[in-house]
Amino acid sequence: MTKFFKHVGYGSLVVAAVVASASCSTTKENKPITATATNPTPGSQVRPGGQKSQALSDRNLPSGQDQSSLDALRRGEAPNTARESVLKDVYFDFDRYNLDDDDRAILRADAEWLKKNPAARVQIEGHCDERGTSEYNLALGAKRAQAAKDYLVTLGVTENRLSTISYGEEIPVCRDATESCWKENRRDRFVRSGGAKGTF
């Protein structure tokens, strides 16, 4: 458990994340293509190469819905995005929430998929590395999630299909105190719900 969970329960994390609506930490050189759990939470099942079993991540979920990072944490599973998901993570530089050209390319592909699947809704999760205070990182994560939402809206995705939440530093996909790990944790993750076609 991180220092945050020692003081706050799961329910309070969600409330704090929603209320915070604001910031996390990042450096973008050699951004990871997909987030993988180098040190998964005990009890998680990870494929070779760091990817969690898709069958495990989707168990007990309604058709057309992804598991949020908080759900994965509660189940003791790694909160990573499946390699085959059509909605890819975007990554950020240290202490930044601006989108670069790579991020915009990923978000353009996400927007095209969302426009072809109008029943799908997406929650954008903002995540940070462990540097900085919990409060600062919650605010930075919110800014990261909002930046992606705003860009998707400019690409024609209806705003009411998109929601945001910040988890700050509290649900890392990689737990080593190294730059390569921190890069994986500075991300927006896209969790879909509602009916949709295609691979997730």
Q: What is the pLDDT of residues 125-162, one digit of tens each?
A: 999 999 999 999 999 999 999 999 999 999 999 999 99
> 3-193: what CATH class?
alpha beta
pLDDT of residue 79: 84
| Residue 164 in this model has a pLDDT that exceeds 60 | yes
The tokens for 112 are: 């095209």
pLDDT range class, residue 96, cuts 50, 70, 90: very high
- Yes or no: say if 121 and 66 are a contact pair by the CB < 8 Å rule: no
Q: What residue spans define the domains of the chain?
A: 3-193
Residue 140: predicted pLDDT: 97
pLDDT at 34 over 50: no
**How far, in Å, are 18, 19, 41, 96 from residue 134 at the CA level?**
14, 13, 20, 16
- 111 membership: H or E segment, kind and range: helix 101-116
Q: What is the pLDDT of residue 100?
A: 95
CB distance 191 to 127 below 8 Å: no
Comparing 14-18, 99-103, 172-176, the range with the smallest average pLDDT is: 14-18
User: What is the model's pLDDT at position 80?
Assistant: 79
What mean pLDDT is predicted for residues 187-195?
A: 86
pTM of the model: 0.67
Pairing of β 121-127 and β 162-168: parallel
Question: Residue for token digits 């989108």?
Answer: 99
Neighbours of 163 (CB within 10 A): 16
pLDDT of residue 112 exceeding 60, the answer is yes
Residue 183's identity, in one-letter code, is K
Q: For position 72, what pLDDT does the model report?
A: 83
Place of tokens 């293509």: 33
